[in-house]
Amino acid sequence: MSKKNVLSDYVLNLAESATLKMSQLARDLKSEGKDVISLSVGEPDFDTPKFIIDAAKQALDDGYTHYTPVPGLVEYREAIVKKLKRDNGLDYGIANIVVSNGAKQSISNLCQAMLNKDDDVIIFTPYWVSYIEIVKLAGGNPICVEASVENDYKVTAEQVKAVMHDKVKFVLFSSPCNPTGSVYTREELKAIADVIAPYENTYIISDEIYEHIVYSGEHVSIAENKNVADRTIVVNGMSKGFAMTGWRLGYIAAPKEIASACAKIQGQVTSGATAFGQKAAAIALETETDEPALMKDVFLKRRDMVITELSKIEGLKLSVPQGAFYIFPDCSNFFGKSIDGVVIENSDVLAEQILDKTYVATVSGAAFGAPNCIRLSYAASEENLMDACRRLQDFFGSLS
């Protein structure tokens, strides 16, 4: 068989995750001895809080080494139900909850469970890289609704209204948003819910994985709107708020029919998430802890520092993010300029040249549906962030 035939059309049509690709590139350069600062992948640089690690060790000793029920350990799902009530004012039972290997898999399960070929899906843009590919893998047709920098990168209810129709399967967005850091207010979410509510076949997938990282105002779930509550699926997980990216634990709270469908898929694909991890995550959600808030305070300090430093680069258009840990500057003023004979035609070339010339790893905005921007994660030490900002100042200053 020729090599051409080995791989499926499915994988040949799949774009590689730009965030993970850049972070691997940064790792490779580092292992070659290069002085790389990676602001590419979005993951807290903190270790998981000790009480959660201790809980996982205890869980291993206590025999949490077997398969769990496919949708998750009962005690973890109970802890999630309590968390959703306590933190978000939402009413669910354990039959609504499915635990997966990260929120990424939760979103993938949902798309596989809900989409038929060519179903329309509205995606707020800029979007998290994987939304588009996961929707496309499930046969869906993404309709990107673009938020503007003038509106703090938030899609308005009027914009949603302009593209809504009876056959939209779901509307997908994150608040706080990756990559822009925008946080939708209660009023904005209510206005969007009011637009979607009359369309009885349309669901909402609300990705709330950055809920603990909000700097001003509060995190609000669109699911609190009664007119869409029974058609809203909340996606969340342990990765960001509890610095547990490597544990691979995400979950959904969904109408029972959808939750069961996701569990059915998962039962054939992964059998569920790791038992001792789930036990420790249950303890994380049930323990009164200020660890997420302490991490958020550090992120806020870093955000302010990076914004101050990047503001010194004339021509860079910055919006001040209210949540998550990303800065998403519009760099279009620099397109057409050159460095060492290479013309910066777009954000892909820009991110490549920044890495090549300064060893600062960022991600091109094109991967997030915003080709004028690049994304920097400030989930890195202050020292590295300061160093990276200086390198970026020199880089942009040397474009001509």
β-strands 360-361, 141-146 pairing:
unpaired
Does position 181 interact with ligand PMP (CB under 6 A)? The reply is no
Binding site for ligand GLU (CB under 6 A): 17, 19-20, 41-43, 104, 128-130, 178
Element (H, E) at 9: helix 9-12
CB of 393 to ligand GLU, least distance (A): 24
Residue 137 binds: one of ligand PMP, ligand GLU, none (C-beta under 5 to 8 A by kind): none
Counting every residue written for the chain, the total comes to 400
CB of 134 to ligand PMP, least distance (A): 10
Token reading at 324: 């998550």
Angle at 41 between CA 109 and CA 72, to 5 degrees: 30
CB of 285 to ligand GLU, least distance (A): 20
- Determine if residue 235 is left, alpha or beta; phi over 0 gives left, psi from -120 to 50 gives alpha, anything else beta: beta
Instruction: Give Cβ neighbours of residue 136 (< 8 Å, ≥ 6 apart).
Output: 13, 14, 142
Pick the binder of ligand PMP from 18, 36, 38, 42 (CB under 6 A): 42
Tell me the C-alpha distance between 105 and 257, whole Å: 18
String of contacts with ligand PMP for each residue 249-278, x by CB under 6 A: -x----------------------------
Pick the binder of ligand PMP from 120, 152, 188, 207 (CB under 6 A): 207
Tell me the C-alpha distance between 358 and 35, whole Å: 9
Residue 111 binds: one of ligand PMP, ligand GLU, none (C-beta under 5 to 8 A by kind): none
Which C-beta is closer to ligand PMP: that of 63 or that of 246? 246
CB of 256 to ligand GLU, least distance (A): 28
For the CA atoms of 386, 392, 395, 398, what is the dihedral angle to 10 degrees?
Answer: -80
CB count within 10 Å of CB 114 equals: 20
Does position 209 interact with ligand PMP (CB under 6 A)? The reply is yes
Positions in the binding site for ligand PMP (CB under 6 A): 42, 102-104, 128, 174, 178, 207, 209, 237, 239, 245, 250
